[in-house]
Amino acid sequence: MRRKRRNFIALLFLLGFGTVIFVLSNRAALYEAVQLAMSEGNSFRYVFHVLIGKLPDLLMKYSTSLIWAYGIFIAGVILLEERNPDRTIRWLLVLILLPVIGFLLYIFLGPDIRIRKNFRRLKRKKKPRIPEVAPLLSRIDKLKAVEVGGVKTATLLLKNSRALPTEANRVTMLLNGSETYIEIKKSLWKAQSYIYLEFYAVHNDKIGNDFKDILIAKVKEGLTVKFIYDSVGSWTIGKKFVKELKDAGVHVHSFLPVSFPMLRRDLNYRNHRKIVIVDGTVGFMGGLNIGDIYISGEPSLGYWRDTHLKIEGPAVGCLEEIFNTDCLFCDGNHVPAERTSEYSNSGNSTVQIVASGPDSNWQSIHQGYFSLITNAKKFVLVTTPYLVPGESLLTALTVASLSGVDVRILIPLKGDHAVAQWATMSNVEELLRAGVKVYAYQRGFIHSKILVADDSIVSVGTANLDARSLEINFEVQAFVYDRAVAGEFIKAFRNDLKHSQKLHLHEWLKRPVKNKILEKASRLWSTQL
Q: Which residues are catalytic?
A: 272, 274, 279, 447, 449, 454
Give CA–CA dist 357/360, Å, rounded: 5
Contacts of 148 (CB under 8 A, 6+ apart): none
**Residue 228 — φ and ψ, nearest 5°?**
-115, 130
Q: Which of 479, 487, 485 is nearest to 155 (CA)?
A: 479
273 DSSP assignment: -
Q: Which of 143, 470, 468, 454 is nearest to 315 (CA)?
A: 143
- 511 — phi, psi (to 5°)? -65, 155
Environment class of 272 (CB within 10 Å of its CB; exposed 0-12, middle 13-18, buried 19+): buried
How many CA atoms within 13 Å lie on the side-chain side of 24?
10
Contact indicator for 459, 368 with CB cutoff of 8 Å? yes
- What's the number of CA atoms in the CB half-sphere (13 Å) around residue 502? 9
Distance CA 327, CA 436 (A): 41
In angstroms, the CA 227 to CA 203 distance is 14
Query: Which DSSP symbol is given to 442?
Result: -
C-alpha distances (whole Å) from 155 to each of 140, 163, 446 are 7, 9, 31
Q: Look up residue 507 and give its DSSP letter.
A: H
Residues 395 and 185: their CA atoms lie apart, in Å, by 42
Region label for 198, one of left (φ > 0), alpha (ψ between -120 and 50) or beta (otherwise): beta
**Encoded amino acid at 380, one letter:** V
If residue 393 lies in a helix (H) or strand (E), which one and from where to where?
helix 390-402
- Residue of 353, 411, 356, 416 whose CA lies nearest to 384: 411
Q: Pairing mode, if any, of strands 349-356 and 166-175? A: antiparallel
Determine the Cα–Cα distance for residues 48 and 37; give it in Å rounded to an integer.
9
Q: What are phi and psi of 179, to 5 degrees?
A: -65, -40
> Pick from 401, 405, 380, 383: which is nearest to 455 by CA?
380
